[in-house]
Structure 1
């Protein structure tokens, strides 16, 4: 909710937003520091993270939501650093190409490490990495490249090791990288989504880094390996010119797709500003809402649209709780 302070809200919009937020928080067990947590003193409860005992009462030591698991009572903090777990899908930016490894910025207290041996080579052949592969590391990833990977393990010193042995992981191009609070991205079965209607790929990183980019088709290697019939030199020159033009056309992102990328990215920014959980379903609802209302892409970040999104979310949750 810190982002709302930067929006130029008029008095009417402030009142509407306050009502929507009160409606959203009505059904949650949210607490702030020093709030008393209601418990049955006769039960032998276990006090977990974010709780302490003060004058015989259980008191919250952090801001968050009360969670209960059998006899365990703890407070789940909303704004917290990313805590990596094995199997998490993350998105990061390459900051250094070191011997046999890449170092990535992944919105964590330390840089993550992606070893050369922990990713698929461009030829797709499973083999031992040689000195030639190490010399050609920059042809795979270089500084400032955006990469998707998976957490392989957490080291004793707090470091993070990644791997990208699946075809779905790798370099991300032709899109936008967004950084939000990690708590807004919940861990799910699938963090890679293809919004077919908009021609956009969406990667929701568990570390709070989200990628919105043009959809990339996986090419069939069998077709690429077919022999090319020989042609006269003049025809080869013409084919090279046509191929170069085709490559330029393929590298060009259509205007409609770029507009869709910006619209989806702004929908994510609105959710981040309001502090709402970011899911594919909610993003799609906001996109449809903006299109039906005729809201331009740049107007989605305005105060009025943010208030409308908060009101719609409050209305949706009210209907669901009935």
Structure 2
């Protein structure tokens, strides 16, 4: 081998070594980011204090009595089959079934979920709805309420008038009725509490931060209504009088008072601040954040500053921990 060839081979070896060092540094950076996210993750309780975070390729267990769930696979490299993580997330064991819940993901709907979505297309006998999922959801004409809550078989005339009910750009609340074979969701708005939404603010957060509860429609004592959609879409609006639900067929477009607009803006900024700091969203946490922002004398516009949001989130976590401690006692 000539001297030039030896020098060329040495350069290749050096380049490959540098690439390996660079790749290792990238992996270490990802692990550090996930560790930081874990440290600033949702408010910890007794049930999630021992949560196990994994990266793709990490071993979860070698016990073969466990069943493989979403986000896992069986390694066949060794004689002993090991259950490995295929995604980065939190290990969630349910009896003998082990799954990994991803830290960041699109919405994976379940039957009975309450969602907030936007109409994207009007098709034959159905609407396409953007729900933060991998595929657009479907709202069938047979799954909506007619004006006045009338229940009857839909006719060809109803199909012609579909755009009078819902059109592109309309915001709706609905419930997941079924899941199709391709993974898309089937929706319905047969209850008068669902349907077209009027004036309000729509914000988007991670679906994993919305806590699953029996009720996702909240009339907050601060003077605003909030719908915490399981799909990560949150709707904030003015207070609606009890018993005036119309399924979205009667909408009040009158001017909203300045005080109510300020309340909605403050609530919107508090909700986004909690989501940024990975605090689970429910009516309690959002109300606490709102009250803390008022007590500390911040204006709604101040809640857009990162340092202020950090203070609000930290104080909210402390109040939630105190509240959970009282429940345990």
What CA deviation, in whole Å up to 9, does each residue of 1:245-264 have, x standing for no partner? xx99x711111111111111
1:264 to 240, 262, 267: 267
Task: For 1:315 and 1:21, locate their aligned partners in 2 and report how far apart those are by CA, in whole Å.
Answer: 13
Residue 29 (structure 2) pairs with residue 29 (structure 1): no
1:204 alignment counterpart: 228
Is the CA contact 2:193–2:245 (under 8 Å) kept in the aligned structure 1? no
Asked if the contact 2:207/2:231 (under 8 Å) is kept, the reply is: yes
For structure 1, which segment, 70-79 or 185-194, has the greater mean C-alpha deviation from structure 2 after superposition?
Answer: 70-79
User: Aligned residue for 1:12?
Assistant: none
Q: What is the distance in 1 between the residues matched to 2:90 and 2:116?
A: 27
2:192/2:245 contact within 8 Å kept = no
Task: State the SS of the aligned residue for 2:105.
Answer: coil
CA offsets, 1:116-167, max 9 Å, x none? Answer: 2211111322222233322322222122110111111112233322111101
Q: CA deviation at 1:108?
A: 1.4
**Equivalent residue of 2:147, what SS?**
coil
Unaligned runs of 5+ in 1: 1-16, 222-246
Relative to the length of structure 1, the TM-score reads 0.75
Q: State the SS of the aligned residue for 1:123.
A: helix
Q: What is aligned with 1:88?
A: 113
Deviates more, 1:140-149 or 1:70-79: 70-79
1:50 is aligned, of 50, 68, 71, to 71
Question: Which residue is equivalent to 1:229?
Answer: none
Q: 1:291 aligns with which of 291, 294, 304?
A: 294
Q: Choose the corresponding residue for 1:216, options 223, 240, 244.
A: 240
Quote the offset at 1:23 in angstroms: 11
Q: Does the CA-based 8 Å contact 2:66-2:97 persist in structure 1?
A: yes
Residue pairs, 1:155-304, within 5 angstroms: 155-198=180-223, 200-217=224-241, 218-219=243-244, 251-304=254-307
Taking CA–CA contacts closer than 8 Å with sequence separation of 6 or more, which of the two structures ends up with the larger relative contact order?
Answer: 1
Is the 2:227–2:234 contact (alpha carbons within 8 Å) kept by the matching residues of 1?
yes
Aligned to 1:67: 92
Give the superposed CA RMSD. Answer: 3.1
Q: Which residue of 1 aligns with 2:162?
A: 137
Q: 1:251 aligns to what SS in structure 2?
A: coil
* Displacement of 1:314: 5.0
Q: Which residue pairs with 2:149 in the alignment?
A: 124
Unpaired runs of 5+ residues, structure 2, are: 1-35
User: For residues 278-300 of structure 1, what are the alpha-carbon distances to aligned partners after superposition, in whole Å with 9 as ceiling and x for unaligned?
Assistant: 11100000000000001111111
Deviations 1:202-241 (A, max 9, x none): 11111111111112234499xxxxxxxxxxxxxxxxxxxx
8 Å Cα contact 2:166/2:196 also seen in 1: yes
Q: Which of 91, 106, 127 is equivalent to 2:131? A: 106
